[in-house]
Structure 1
Amino acid sequence: MEKVKNRWLIALSAVGIHLSIGSVYAYSVMTIPLNKLHGWLKSDVTFAFSIAILFLGFSAAFLGPWVERMGPRNSGRLAAVFYSLGIIGSGLAVKFGSLSLFILSYGVIGGIGLGVGYITPVSTLVKWFPDRRGLATGMAIMGFGFAAMLFGPIMAKLFQVMDIWKVYILLGAVYFCLITCSSLYIAPPPKGWLPKGMREAPVGADGEPAPKRAVRRDLAQMTVKEAIRTKRFYFMWVMLFINITCGIALISVASPMAQEVTGMSAMQAAAMVGLMGLFNGGGRIGWASFSDIIGRPVTFMAFFVIQVVAFLALSTVTDAFVFQCLIMLILTCYGGGFSTLPAFLGDMFGTKQLGTIHGFELTAWGIAGIVGPTIVTKVLEATGSYTTTLHIFAGFLAFAFLVSCLMAREIKAKRQWYAQQQSEEGVSA
């Protein structure tokens, strides 16, 4: 018999992929060097990042079926090719001073690599961890959140000692190797495989079989075509869209807002931004793991209640310490939404086409990456104050909480209906 792979090494491989593509969160390190080198406007350089996030979402959706068919190993290689080509192409664009080539390479080609790489390990991990879905997806997507802390300082140092275009070439090669090597070990579990704790009944102190750990069955096993016909698919999309819109908008203005509202220095604000990456990544593993205990619907309700209070409090706070605490709290919910999502989708739609369904939900990220910063910029230009912006986002989050309540009610009703159907079938048998 073929030896079954170690599922924790599968998870570690997934972290390797997400650490590589998550370097996109260190993008702000590139802005000033490119501005100084070629005089490119910061808004033009940032536009490439927005395009990358847009293509992440839509490539994850529309290439999801191919990812499912190719399997995680081959799709990981495809992600390595696209993402590394995008980074290397960006280096050539910098060398020749072509902004349009830079946007095409980093935004479009690199964005496709981001989308494929992001969903590649997710459905596989969910299959390996039916007993700890939140923990498994949290570990992988945690890598995406922590990547800025790893690659940000490395990129900043390389920009000081090398020509900028050479840094891109070097990073492209490094990312290709990391993603390719991480993909080599990833594979779905054998058909019918279960972890030891679910496969064998443990023995209690009295010698009798002890109760197995309760693992709730998936609500259904659906294809993507079936999933998009359900109300809960769109409830989830709205919840994800609002969570990302508010979080990414706050990230985009965190440094100047801290300086203007609390009087923090530029260096103190920069240190705060670095710490935000820690809480973003920590929230991904922490909230996703906690969702295994309290349930995914309750977890999303908690995200929105916490953030409504935090955004309203931010509009009145001027103390630097309290301000930073509120920012970090919001960032844990922002990151937690990403990591809890795949496990939640698995609970609702099963693992049959989880990667594809996950990809379609991520279109919310692609659109939110443009909508969030645009709203905060437009409102700031019109009012000159962060207060109105924070109140608007608090309203969005309150609406998302109502949607999460509808989601929980929908799931409860479906479970009761399925339980009744099974009971009737049992009686008739």
Structure 2
Amino acid sequence: MENKWMRAALPALLIHGSIGTVYAWSVFKQSVADYIGASVPNVEWAFSIAILFLGLSAAVLGHFVEQDIKKSALLSTLFFVVGMIGTGFSIQHKSLIGIYIFYGVIMGIGLGIGYLTPVKNLMLWFKDNKGLGTGLAVAGFGLAKMIFSPIMVALTNSFGLWQMFIILAVVFAIMMLTGTALIRKPLNWHEEPLVNKFKPTAFLKNSTFIGIWIMFYLNITAGLAIISQEKDILADLTNAQGAVFSVAAITLVVSIDAFFNAAGRVGFATLSDHLKDRNSVYKLIFGISIIMSLLAYFLPDTSAAMPIILVATFFLINAGYGGGFSALPPLLSDRFGMKAISKIHGLALTAWAVAGLSGNQLASYIVHGLGMTYQTVFIVIAGLYLIAFLVSALVVKPTQMLVE
């Protein structure tokens, strides 16, 4: 079938739905640490390295994705599947370095290529609703954790921890190869070479691109600071108020978070299709996040409304976190055109690479390094969201700099 659902949306969901399981690392990091005899903080670095290499590979290989999305989808499959298999055998041999290499570096490269591959294609097929198109793909990335986490737990219980990685490597290979076979650009789209050589350094001098990079980075950093600590924050509140959240309730909240993350990816990006300037959706995300963070900070732990406010804050920050990803490609295409969008998007994703290193560490440093309460994290991220709002309003201009 030659339509946007079979040639763009379904392949995107198959590819992103596979590579998005990188976010499930938090589900089994304790099990990995126990199995190989390492500390959880040391094991956590595997995830940070994966996000770092996602951003770096996206920036470096954007031109490759631009040229041939079938080859880039195939290369992404190769790196991601080899990374999964290598991670499984590294766990079996209790090699932390092996986990860093396979889960962090090799899978990370597969993530970067795979993340970029469907995005431009979706915007070409959904040319009148670019936000909806990218929202569908990036929603698959967000939903992957929610869908596969229980499957991973079941496989681990039935077959073993390292065996689970090998089994899922086969499943993801089938999914991603199917996506590779289906994905194709519209027949009426002809990829023309750029008139002027693409110069990444030119974007380092462009205030609008710099502004987009900064607000994207701040949204991820602030979001990760909360997302990475949700279980601990809820447990802390339970200790302050007594039996507020049981273990099962905390698990349920975290699971529903994944739904809001995915819903935000579709909702905010689709909303941007109906706004005069797509940048306005970021102001909305940051405004909501500021309000909720301040409420979570100033409301006393002992307040009866605190559990409700806290859960609502988690849900809305997750929605804004996801929406920041899906609204990015259409915003970049509005400012810089479609010709080199994969390269430009890849450059912007370096913000994700940096935020992947700083977001988790920010909350951990505030709580464990400085000995402050979890509520302090909320006032810090409220400040980050405020800076992001000001950058969006004052630095990201509506003027275009089309790449030809």
Cα offset, 1:228, TM superposition? 4.2
Q: 1:163 Cα deviation (Å)? A: 2.3
Deviation at 1:314? Answer: 1.1
Shift of 1:32: 2.4
User: What CA RMSD, in Å, does the superposition of the two structures yield over aligned residues?
Assistant: 1.9
1:31 aligns with 2:13: no
Establish whether residue 253 from structure 1 lines up as the match of residue 229 from structure 2. Answer: yes
Q: Distance in 1 between matches of 2:337 and 2:5?
A: 21
Match of 1:322 in 2: 309
Contact 1:81–1:113, Cα closer than 8 Å, also in 2: yes
Structure 2 counterpart of 1:309: 291
Residue number among 344, 354, 357 corresponding to 2:344 in the alignment:
357
Q: Does 1:288 align with 2:286?
A: no
TM normalised by structure 2 equals: 0.91
Q: Name which one, 1 or 2, has greater alpha-carbon Rg.
A: 1
| Contact 2:203/2:210 (8 A) holds in 1 | no
Alignment-derived partner of residue 211 in structure 1: none
**What's the counterpart of residue 189 of structure 1?**
186
User: Any conservation in 2 of the 1:149–1:274 contact (CA below 8 Å)?
Assistant: yes
Distance 2:273 2:101 in 1: 40
Distance 2:135 2:165 in 1: 29
Q: Distance in 2 between matches of 1:379 and 1:192?
A: 50
Maintained 8 Å contact 1:223/1:352: no
Could you tell me how far apart the structure 2 residues matched to 1:297 and 1:308 are?
Answer: 17
Contact kept? 2:225, 2:377, Cα under 8 Å: no
Deviates more, 1:95-104 or 1:135-144: 95-104
Kindly state the Cα deviation for residue 387 of structure 1 after the two structures are TM-superposed: 2.8
Letter in 2 for 1:280: N
SS at match of 1:121: helix
Check if 1:108 corresponds to 2:105.
Answer: yes
- Which residues of structure 2 form unaligned runs of 5+? 191-195, 239-243
- The answer for the alignment partner of 2:377 in structure 1 is 389
Structure 1 stretches of at least 4 aligned residues deviating more than 6 Å after TM superposition: none
8 Å contact 1:222–1:352 — kept in the other structure?
Answer: no
Listed one character per residue, the Cα deviations across residues 169-226 of structure 1 (whole Å, up to 9, x for unaligned) are 1111111111111111211113459xxxxxxxxxxxxxxxxxxxxxxxxxxx994545
Match of 1:13 in 2: 11
Distance 2:257 2:93 in 1: 35
8 Å contact from structure 2 (residues 156, 163) kept in 1: no
CA distance in 2, matches of 1:328, 1:163: 33
SS of 2:273's equivalent? helix
Alignment partner, residue 140 of structure 2: 143
Judge conservation of contact 2:36–2:96 (CA < 8 Å) in 1: no
Please say which of residues 222-231 and 288-297 is displaced more in the overlay: 222-231
Could you tell me which residue of structure 2 aligns to residue 275 of structure 1? 256
- The question of whether the paired residues in 2 share the 8 Å contact of 1:55 and 1:112 is answered with yes
- Equivalent-residue separation in structure 2 for 1:146 and 1:75 (angstroms): 22
Instruction: Give the conservation status (yes or no) of the 8 Å contact 2:263–2:319.
Output: yes
Aligned to 1:55: 53
Taking structure 1 as the reference length, the TM-score comes to: 0.86
1:8-28 Cα distance to aligned partner (Å, 9 max, x none): 222121111100000111111
User: What displacement does 1:356 show?
Assistant: 1.0
Aligned residue pairs total 383
Partner of 2:357: 370
Unaligned runs of 5+ in 1: 194-220, 419-429
1:46 lines up with 2:34 in the alignment: no
CA separation in 2, counterparts of 1:389 and 1:276?
18
Query: In the alignment, which residue of structure 1 is the partner of 2:389?
Result: 401
Deviations 1:374-410 (A, max 9, x none): 11111112132123221111111111111101245x2
- Aligned residue type for 2:262: G
Identity in percent: 37
Preserved CA contact (<8 Å) 1:59 1:115: yes
Is residue 157 of structure 2 the alignment partner of residue 166 of structure 1?
no
Is 107-116 or 4-13 further displaced after alignment?
Answer: 4-13
Which whole-Å CA distance do the structure 2 matches of 1:130 and 1:20 have between them? 25
Cα deviation code 1:281-334 (max 9, x no counterpart) = 111001111111123111011111111111111113442222111210111110
Letter in 1 for 2:325: F
3-state DSSP class of the match of 1:17? helix
Match of 1:124 among 114, 121, 125: 121
Is the CA contact 1:224–1:353 (under 8 Å) kept in the aligned structure 2? no
Aligned ranges 1:226-245 → 2 under 5 Å: 226-245=202-221
Is the CA contact 1:240–1:364 (under 8 Å) kept in the aligned structure 2? yes
How many angstroms apart in 2 are the aligned matches of 1:104 and 1:269? 32
CA distance in 2, matches of 1:337, 1:373: 18
Map of 2:279 onto structure 1: 297
Q: Distance in 2 between matches of 1:222 and 1:291?
A: 30
Counterpart-to-counterpart distance in 1, 2:189 and 2:347: 27
Give the 3 Å change call, closer, same or farther, for CA 123–158 of structure 1 in structure 2: same
Q: Is the 8 A contact 2:58 2:349 kept in 1?
A: yes
SS of alignment partner, residue 40 of structure 1: coil
2:193 is matched with: none
